[in-house]
Structure 1
Amino acid sequence: MKVYGVTGWKNAGKTGLMERLVAEFTARGLRVSTLKHAHHSFDVDHPGRDSHRHREAGAHQVMLGSANRWALMTELRGEAEPGLDALLSMMAPADLVLIEGWKRDRHPKIEAWRAQTANPLIAPEDPTIRAVASDTPLDTAGRPRFDLDDTAAIADFIAGELDL
């Protein structure tokens, strides 16, 4: 599977860029999946729902299925968080998996950056960041810079990098 990441600090525009890239690559006829890292406790289930009750009772995995989608939740219950490679191995085949987060993993990435956050660029210290998408001109440590909203150009760059 071909993978490419979107990384950056909080409020840098990562999720919006991910949304636009998924739509762009899908419109180009690719099957696209996404994988997002959450740094905090999250839940896709809700107290009182049958599936939540199953999990609370101790189920290791709970699968929900319908005519529109299915989802599999796995409770770690103290086990180590699976790494990126382990999670990717559980995904169905796709032409492209876009990864949001996982700053420190070694897959190729584009960094999203917004001036209002005033965070330092990650790119100068990370050779896996191949380009920067920002809302203002800035020194990108020799990497290509794209306007954060120029989705087609960013998608073209990623497609070229991955030979899509």
Structure 2
Amino acid sequence: MKTWGITGWKNSGKTGLVERLVAHFVAEGLTVSTIKHAHHSFDVDHPGRDSYRHRDAGASEVILASRNRIAQMTELRGADEPRLDDLIARLRPCDLVLIEGYKTARHPKIEAHRAATGQPLIAPGDATIRAVASDTAPTGLSVPVLPLDDTAAIAAFIRAGLSL
């Protein structure tokens, strides 16, 4: 499976870009999976639901299944956060895995950048960033700058980079 990341600071447009790229690549006939890193505690389950009660009782893993979807929840219970490669290995085969976040992982990435965040660019100090997708035109970079809202151009850049 081929992987490509979208990274950047909070509110830089990462999620919107990933969403648009998934829709774009799927419309082109590719199968796409995603992995998103969260820096905060999150829960996809709700107190009182059966699956929540299973986890709350101490289950290490809970699989919730229906004819429409399957969700697998794993409680780390103090164990180390899984490595990105281990998470990718859990996915069913697909054409492309888009990864949101994981700034320090070593896969190729595009940095999403919005000037309004006031954050500096990550690209100058990170060789895994192959382009910057920005709402401005930053200068002095050794990588291409693409318009943040030009999904087709960003998708074409990824396709070329991965020979898709």
Normalising by the residue count of structure 2, what TM-score does the alignment of the two structures yield?
0.99
The aligned counterpart of 2:67 is 67
The aligned counterpart of 1:152 is 152
Q: Is 1:85 matched with 2:85?
A: yes
The aligned counterpart of 2:45 is 45
The aligned counterpart of 1:107 is 107
- Partners of 1:109 and 1:130 within 8 A in 2: yes
Unaligned runs of 5+ in 2: none
User: What one-letter code is carried by the residue in structure 2 that aligns with 1:22?
Assistant: V
Q: C-alpha distance in 1, partners of 2:140/2:11?
A: 19
Q: C-alpha distance in 1, partners of 2:77/2:14?
A: 29
The aligned counterpart of 2:26 is 26
Secondary structure in 2 matching 1:9: coil
User: What one-letter code is carried by the residue in structure 2 that aligns with 1:90?
Assistant: R
User: What one-letter code is carried by the residue in structure 2 that aligns with 1:84?
Assistant: L
Q: Name the Cα RMSD after superposition.
A: 0.6
Give CA deviations for 1:124-151 in whole Å, capped at 9, x if unaligned. 0000000000001112512111100000
Secondary structure in 2 matching 1:73: strand
Residue 118 of structure 1 and its aligned partner are, at CA, apart by 1.1
The aligned counterpart of 1:124 is 124
Residue 48 of structure 1 and its aligned partner are, at CA, apart by 0.4
Q: Summarize the Cα distance change of 1:4–1:140 in structure 2 as closer, same or farther, 3 Å threshold.
A: farther
Unaligned runs of 5+ in 1: none
Residue 4 of structure 1 and its aligned partner are, at CA, apart by 0.1
Give CA deviations for 1:66-90 in whole Å, capped at 9, x if unaligned. 1110010011111111010111111
Identity %: 68
User: What one-letter code is carried by the residue in structure 1 that aligns with 2:128?
Assistant: T
Secondary structure in 1 matching 2:132: strand
The aligned counterpart of 1:35 is 35
Normalising by the residue count of structure 1, what TM-score does the alignment of the two structures yield?
0.99
Give CA deviations for 1:27-67 in whole Å, capped at 9, x if unaligned. 01000000000111110000000000000000011001111
Aligned length: 164
Secondary structure in 1 matching 2:137: coil
Q: C-alpha distance in 2, partners of 1:113/1:80?
A: 30
Secondary structure in 1 matching 2:55: helix
